[in-house]
Amino acid sequence: MDEDINIDDFLTKTGTYGWFQKRIYIFVCLVAMAACTQSFIQVFIAGQGDHWCKVSQWENDTCDFTNVSAAECRDLKRLLSTPPNKDNTLRSCTKFNLTGVELKTVYEDNATQYDVIDCDEGWYFDNSVFRSTLTEDWSLVCDDYYIPNVLQSIYMAGYFGGSIIYGSLADRFGRYYILLFCSFSAGGLGILSALSPNVYIYGVLKFLTGLSVNGSLLVGFVLGTELVPPQARVLFGVALWYACVLSYFLLPGLARIIPSWRWIIGICSSLFFTLIPGIWLISESPRWLLTKKRRQAAEKIMRKIAEMNGKELTEETYSRVKDDDKDSSETGRTTFVDLIRSPVLMAYLLCLLYNWFAQSFIYFGLSLGTASLGVSIYVSFCLSGVVEMLSFVVCIPAMNRFGRKWSTAFFLFLAGFACCATIFAPLGPIRVAVAMIGKFAISASFANIYVYSAEIFPTPLRTMCVGFCSAAARIGGVVAPLILVLERAWPSLPMICFSFSSLLAGCLVFILPETKGKRMPDTIQESIDLKKTTEKV
């Protein structure tokens, strides 16, 4: 009598890179691209360009007492109304008290005779770098300079909540419905945030958007990896991040072309609605259905997979796909309590929690900090995308050749040393080059850890555990913008934090089992046995 076969064996028989899997991944990648634009949009809609205090009584003065152009007149007004710093640069948050004093009078006299006061009439903004920002519309400068970073942290806090909520819901109710709900709600909430009348409503909507955005990304990733056999997981897992990289080229283009930050948010949010055809074209994970003992529904999707991939299988093949009846006590009712009862699995989880935290902390810190590298933010952001794309090219053969553990540890160590070297690199091309090495390494490591985590946890707990890991990553995403604010007190502090976090994460990777080529575990015991088994598919 023929032996039962695993769901991975079935997926291999129906075609590793079949049209069914490709179709699912087209939609998952579209969701990933939309999600990543939401994560990095802050760089362009909340950028803080040059600004100086308004002197409203001079607004209509054309400097007709001098022979200068309109642009030169604007610069002259700033020079005459703004006190200098010790290094002779002009201040942005104070001005001379020029109430009732004409521009011509100040031009002919010595402006330093006037008292220095805070900006009391608002600010002028230089739009040569950013055409339109919420920073300008809501005057988030000087005493409120930290608010844009706090808004990004609020958004990442929503990411944190989405990891916990939607990871658990997807394990309970399935991947399909949660993916659709998260994607459409992310699009709708994003559009609403573009209509925000003030920073408070915007912050609330960004938090809610973060909830749904991360839910769509997390559940989409898990669904995609569960529909392919082990030999295709790396390629399909990393393909998701290729789609994410497109945001590095989309956002700078939109920021240069579109004159309103609200329209930029609206267009990026509408990308989630490209999933509408997926209502009919995406299917539930048969692997999840089998663990929930819904064999009839799982077999229906398995037949669909074989049909779409052009494979003719016997009825016996479908009946031989095991649904782990021998482990029904575990797979049918596995909960977080079962995870806690397993010291080995908890050790894996704790190690991965820190790894996800550290990698997200460094990744977002380097991505959001591109404006401080000493070159055009549009150039450095696009270059960051190119570097990230190259990292995905490298991480695929690295994982396949050297395994998940060694390749992940290597990239983390490389990122740590690059962040440390950035401290000593001078502003400009040299610092950009060193920082891009760090971005290359952490991007490759981050792509690894997604695949690695999905291969360690058992099917009944996979989305929940990856959700917990993603929640830890969101804490890193929350902290990163706040750490960047501290560079005003000590410029080297952010890079020191990034470097230490990366090196420690690299050391902790060696606690984990190697999963290269091994079957995805369907039970807790199979996860525990990953370090023991040498079985390959």
pLDDT score for 56: 87
pLDDT at 427 over 50: yes
Range 340-359 average pLDDT = 89
Range 391-396 average pLDDT = 82
Q: 19-40 vs 261-270: helix axis angle to the nearest 10?
A: 160
pLDDT at 414 over 90: yes
d(Cα 323, Cα 303) in Å, to the nearest integer? Answer: 16
pLDDT score for 110: 61
pLDDT at 448 over 50: yes
pLDDT, tens digit, 9 for 90 and up, residues 53-72: 898 888 888 888 888 888 88
- Among the listed ranges 192-201, 356-365, 527-536, which one has the minimum average pLDDT value? 527-536
From-to residues of CATH 1.20.1250.20 in the chain: 7-48+142-312+319-531
pLDDT score for 480: 82
Confidence of residue 368 (pLDDT cuts 50, 70, 90): low
Confidence of residue 357 (pLDDT cuts 50, 70, 90): very high
pLDDT score for 330: 46
Confidence of residue 413 (pLDDT cuts 50, 70, 90): very high
The 8 Å CB, 24+ separation contacts for 321-327 are 321/4, 321/5, 321/6, 321/7, 321/9, 321/10, 321/290, 322/4, 322/5, 322/6, 322/7, 322/290, 323/290, 323/291, 323/293, 323/295, 323/298, 324/290, 324/291, 324/522, 324/523, 327/522, 327/523, 327/525
pLDDT, tens digit, 9 for 90 and up, residues 162-179: 877 887 788 888 888 899
pLDDT score for 408: 92
- Among the listed ranges 140-154, 220-234, 497-511, which one has the minimum average pLDDT value? 220-234
pLDDT score for 266: 94
Percent of the chain whose pLDDT exceeds 90: 15
d(Cα 493, Cα 487) in Å, to the nearest integer? Answer: 6
Range 337-343 average pLDDT = 79
pLDDT at 529 over 60: yes
pLDDT at 533 over 70: no
pLDDT at 328 over 70: no
153 or 427: which leads in pLDDT: 153
CATH topology of domain 7-48+142-312+319-531: Growth Hormone; Chain: A; (1.20.1250)
pLDDT at 329 over 60: no
Range 317-325 average pLDDT = 66
DSSP 41: T
37: phi then psi, degrees, rounded to nearest 5: -65, -35
331 or 356: which leads in pLDDT: 356
d(Cα 365, Cα 310) in Å, to the nearest integer? Answer: 46
- Among the listed ranges 16-20, 231-235, 272-276, 417-421, which one has the minimum average pLDDT value? 231-235
- Among the listed ranges 224-233, 317-326, 359-368, 374-383, which one has the minimum average pLDDT value? 317-326
CA atoms within 13 A on the CB side of 400: 15
Confidence of residue 323 (pLDDT cuts 50, 70, 90): low
pLDDT, tens digit, 9 for 90 and up, residues 85-143: 877 778 888 888 888 888 888 887 765 568 888 888 888 888 877 888 899 899 888 88
pLDDT score for 536: 46
Question: What's the whole-number average pLDDT of the chain?
Answer: 82
Q: What angle do CA 120, 69, 95 make, to 5 degrees?
A: 20
pLDDT score for 449: 85
pLDDT at 327 over 50: no
Q: Mind giving me the DSSP string for 339-365?
A: HHT-HHHHHHHHHHHHHHHHHHHHHHH
Measured CA distances, 354 to 6, 500, 502 (Å)? 32, 13, 10
pLDDT, tens digit, 9 for 90 and up, residues 272-312: 998 888 888 888 888 888 888 888 888 888 888 888 888 77
Q: Length of the chain, please?
A: 537
pLDDT score for 333: 57
